Amino acid sequence: MTPFPSVNLLDLSAEAIHARITQPTLQHFTGLYLTRARALLDPDSPQFLDHRKLEKPFWRSREGIFVVPQAMQILALAGAITQESAFSEAARDVLLAIIDHGLADSASLAWGVTTSGWRHGEGHDKFLLALGVWCVLEFAGSSFAPQDRSKVKKFLEDSLQISLALTQQDNANVTNNRGIRGLAASALWALMLDSFAPAADRDTILKRAWISLEKHLYFVFDAQGAPYEGPAYAGNTLGSLTLVAEILRRAGQPDILQHRSLERHPRYLAYELTPGQATINNLNDSHAQCGSISGCLHRMSLPGGEIIAWLARQLDLAPQRTDGELVNTPVIRDYLNFLLWWDESIPTRSPDDLKWPTSAVFPIRGVASHRTGWHSSDILVSHFCGRQEVLCHRQGDQNHVALYAGGERVLVDAGYGDEHKDMSQKMNRWFGLTEAHNCVLIDGLNQRGVLEAPGWGEGEMLEFGNTETRSYSLGDASSATGKDHRVRQSRRKVTLHRLELAPVVTILDVNERDGGSFVTEILWHTHPDNRWSIHATGGIIHTKTLDWHVFVFNLRNEAFQTFGEDGFGRPRLRVRSESALSEFATILIPLPKDQPSPIVRRTGRNLELQLPSGRITLEL
């Protein structure tokens, strides 16, 4: 009988793996990785896979695509690392169970929509399945018996044809993470078939995947490396996509790993890194903890690689991410990237070491990152107002502001509405609404670009400046609101004053609808762990360690109201006024708890702040 074929796309032998994991960092995380693998086979563990009885509900629902392929990768690699047959045989048995029970073709509900199974439909799902199957064949292939050959070959052939049938759809969505992953899935199925019987259009499939990957990297990042879909989707996809790029390179396709987006993305991560929290500011559809450097690890040994080593320790390898069971963390998801490219010999240099400016702007995407530094005690004020990319995830969040300080979330983004619990129910996308962000509502209207306000809406970052004592950004969101495409004015100027006595944030809002009277509502959401104390001209955000004193001024000396309320599960201040032209200034001053409230006096656009530690004068 013909032996079971060997799939060898990475040429990563057990000897090569053992040589790599002698590095202390990899040695440590490989130990945690193996602990995760053992939990998958332990009936007493909450992570138990149940691959023999298949009684857990995820085996026949879309939820399984986020569980099973990752488990296949973990078990297969654990077998290659330890040479313990229990891991390799479990990985093999998972794949055979998927084939024998038709688990990749099980229809189920996901967010209220019926899906046809893991290898059908959205490119995202069939790519994750293809990646899991490849890992099993690559690292646990020797555990298969000759008689398994025909059923595995047919499964690969059928999966390729199912994937190819959606090529036009995936190609049309190549700017989105789903489209590119669908085309990459076809390439993986075709490459796995090389060891059985090469696919008829194999070279065309690989070339299409390579071209689409290059297009995706140009479309989904702006020219400075800022991701249109947000740091979560960038972090969740780049690791696996660069792995596919390396596989394609070894299969004879051009090397795309030197692409400008992969070179420049680390700079975005560094500037949007939240102080002391091991995450990136969760702009757009992003969970509260997001961002990864795994997709750029291949650049560690290239010029500029020092910042990658530093970022890895702030994000993927940080204790906040890696303590405990390592469930769904970058170290688990993209372990192969670390195995291939992590280099302990590269020196770690922070942005301070590299003499980077403390603040920066990504003008096309429209992200201005205002910082006091990169220590855990520092401040990040992130201001978004910029363009969107067609078919990418987007929200109605033009001129949104997020504020982080000393490991605490002060003004928060709605992100991905953490967390969606029941995948069988239709998703409530409240987190995409303007009213869920720290934005300005004009006559209560949500900005266009979300289901509740269809149409195209994007902003523009008009100005940015940075000196030793302050940085500022000016965003224009006037084309994002209203059925006639544009209101007369909707501008926001955000300034971080880096002063010796205290950092101060000032926000200037100017809004005008059509010349007639309209209602302005300025919204400020804080984290659920914090609370607001509201007064007539602002309030105080009480965090665990600081009191952020918030002062609101109507620059036209017109009446306004303040309301403390719940904003989608988060404490919120709403400032409301009605006039033909709205001009407001909001000032935020952090002080230690129990200190007297500062006194703020305004003359025109000049401010005088009397703090417990002294007096400050500022210009808005």
Domain extent at residue 528: 363-619
The CA–CA distances, whole Å, from 4 to 7, 149, 150, 195 equal 10, 5, 9, 9
- What's the confidence (pLDDT) of residue 108? 84
Distance CA 560, CA 570 (A): 22
Number of domains into which the chain is organized: 1
In tens, the pLDDT along 39-51 reads 999 999 999 999 9
Helices 123-139 and 85-100 meet at what angle, rounded to 10? 140
Helix (H, G, I), strand (E, B) or coil at 301: coil
3-state secondary structure 96-111: HHHHHCCHHHCCEEEC
- What's the confidence (pLDDT) of residue 324? 53
Distance CA 124, CA 511 (A): 40
Mean pLDDT of the chain: 93
**180-216 as b/e: b if 16+ CB within 10 A:** bbbbbbbbbbbbbbebbeebeebeebbbbbbbbbbbb
Q: DSSP H helical segments within 225-259, as ranges?
A: 231-250
* Residues present in the chain in total: 620
Tokens 């420049």 appear where? 264
pLDDT band of residue 121 (cuts 50, 70, 90) is confident
Locate 617 and state its tokens: 């004068």
CATH number at residue 373: 2.70.98.70
Residue 356 neighbours by CB distance under 10 Å: 16
The CA–CA distances, whole Å, from 519 to 442, 491, 539, 578 equal 6, 16, 21, 4
CA 286 to the chain's CA centroid: 5
pTM above 0.75, yes or no: yes
Locate 142 and state its tokens: 């020797």
The answer to whether residues 544 and 484 touch, using CB atoms and an 8 Å cutoff, is no
Tell me the residue type at 499.
L
Distance CA 209, CA 369 (A): 34
H helix count then E strand count, the chain: 15, 22
Distance CA 574, CA 327 (A): 38
The CA–CA distances, whole Å, from 343 to 78, 210, 406 equal 21, 27, 30
Give domain status of residue 453, yes or no.
yes
Is pLDDT at 421 greater than 70 in this prediction?
no
- What's the confidence (pLDDT) of residue 7? 94
Average pLDDT for 132-137: 98
Q: DSSP H helical segments within 352-490, as ranges?
A: none
Helix (H, G, I), strand (E, B) or coil at 11: coil
Locate 189 and state its tokens: 């199925």
Q: At a CB cut-off of 8 Å and minimum separation 6, what does 518 contact?
A: 442, 443, 511, 578, 579, 580, 582
Distance CA 404, CA 279 (A): 11
The answer to whether residues 282 and 413 touch, using CB atoms and an 8 Å cutoff, is yes
pLDDT band of residue 326 (cuts 50, 70, 90) is very low
Give domain status of residue 180, yes or no.
no
- What's the confidence (pLDDT) of residue 297? 97
In tens, the pLDDT along 66-101 reads 999 999 999 999 999 999 999 999 999 999 999 999
Give domain status of residue 246, yes or no.
no
Give domain status of residue 478, yes or no.
yes
Is pLDDT at 484 greater than 70 in this prediction?
no
Cα dihedral 530→534→537→541 (10° resolution): -10
Distance CA 454, CA 113 (A): 20
In tens, the pLDDT along 328-356 reads 578 889 999 999 999 999 989 999 999 99
* Parallel, antiparallel or unpaired: strands 367-371 and 379-384: antiparallel
Give domain status of residue 476, yes or no.
yes
Q: Which of 321, 240, 322 is nearest to 35 (CA)?
A: 322
Give domain status of residue 551, yes or no.
yes
The answer to whether residues 226 and 267 touch, using CB atoms and an 8 Å cutoff, is no
In tens, the pLDDT along 489-514 reads 999 999 999 998 999 999 999 999 99
What is the rounded radius of gyration, in angstroms, for the C-alpha atoms of the chain?
A: 26
Give domain status of residue 490, yes or no.
yes
Average pLDDT for 19-44: 93
> What are the backbone dihedrals phi and psi of residue 70, each rounded to the nearest 5 degrees, phi first?
-65, -40
pLDDT band of residue 454 (cuts 50, 70, 90) is confident
Give domain status of residue 438, yes or no.
yes
What is the DSSP secondary-structure string of 139-183? HSGGGS-GGGHHHHHHHHHHHHHHHHTTHHHHHHTTTSHHHHHHH
The answer to whether residues 149 and 196 touch, using CB atoms and an 8 Å cutoff, is yes
Distance CA 362, CA 267 (A): 10
Q: At a CB cut-off of 8 Å and minimum separation 6, what does 156 contact?
A: 133, 189, 192, 193, 196
The answer to whether residues 472 and 499 touch, using CB atoms and an 8 Å cutoff, is no
3-state secondary structure 302-342: CCCCHHHHHHHHHCCCCHHHHCCCCCCCHHHHCHHHHHHHC
The answer to whether residues 247 and 10 touch, using CB atoms and an 8 Å cutoff, is yes
Distance CA 127, CA 122 (A): 9
